[in-house]
Amino acid sequence: MAKNKFNQNWVHDHINDPYVKLAQKEGYRARAVYKLKEIDEAEKLIRPGQVIVDLGATPGSWSQYVRNKLAGKEGGGILGEIFALDLLPMEPIADVQFIQGDFREDEVLDQLESKLMGRKVDLVLSDMAPNLSGNSTVDAARVEYIIELAIAFARAHLKPGGSLLVKCFHGPSYNNIVNMFKDEFKLVMNKKPKASKDKSSEIFLLGKGLKHPE
């Protein structure tokens, strides 16, 4: 009975969520877009001409936002390139090059690298989160592992001045993750956008200026 009540509360909150309504009105696939939008507007992360990778992109609202920021090429199209990767399928987005698969696997990385043609990336975005079990120790390890993967990917693909934005959570592994970021980036900051629910431990970490590109 309690579970049904929880589901009903979630549905009620979701339907009445102003960011859900705004996303529907503006044609975005998820309310998560407004988290990226707020961080981007504060930090000026996304600019025409950039090469940007969106890890864990499905359903695609972050890629939609990036695409809109890079739009402006005469006759349509974008100034720059967007590569989106996810294990799950994603409905196509104009001008976004989607690769379905696990970016830890050589086959998927080879696909990306063939599209990059030797170029380095300006910005890596990751809204990825593990399936949470409710066990804080297990969940902290899963969060840390996913962020380690994103950092390793960024180290291999970012330009020296490039940036990485990841979703993180306050918890037992948070300080370790911040220290990992500080090892890799000249400037590290945390961001709690307004679209991130107050009761959620979700927070975003931004690293600017890769110290040791591969």
pLDDT tens-digit series, residues 106-134: 999 999 999 999 999 999 999 998 888 88
- Would residue 44 show up in a list of annotated catalytic residues for this protein? no
Residue 19 forms part of a structural domain: no
Residue 10 forms part of a structural domain: no
Q: Is the pLDDT of residue 1 over 50?
A: no
In the annotated binding site for S-adenosyl-L-methionine, the residues are 60, 62, 86, 102, 127
Residue 24 forms part of a structural domain: no
Residue 155, domain CATH: 3.40.50.150
pTM: 0.91
Kindly report the number of other CB atoms within 10 A of residue 151's CB atom: 24
Residue 6 forms part of a structural domain: no
Q: Is the pLDDT of residue 2 over 60?
A: no
How many domains does the chain divide into?
1
Residue 5 forms part of a structural domain: no
Range of the domain at 44: 32-210
Residue 59 forms part of a structural domain: yes
Choosing from 159, 167, 192, 194, which is the catalytic residue? 167
Residue type, 91: E
Residue type, 120: K
Class of residue 165 by CB neighbours under 10 A (exposed 0-12, middle 13-18, buried 19+) = buried
Residue 20 forms part of a structural domain: no
Residue 140 forms part of a structural domain: yes
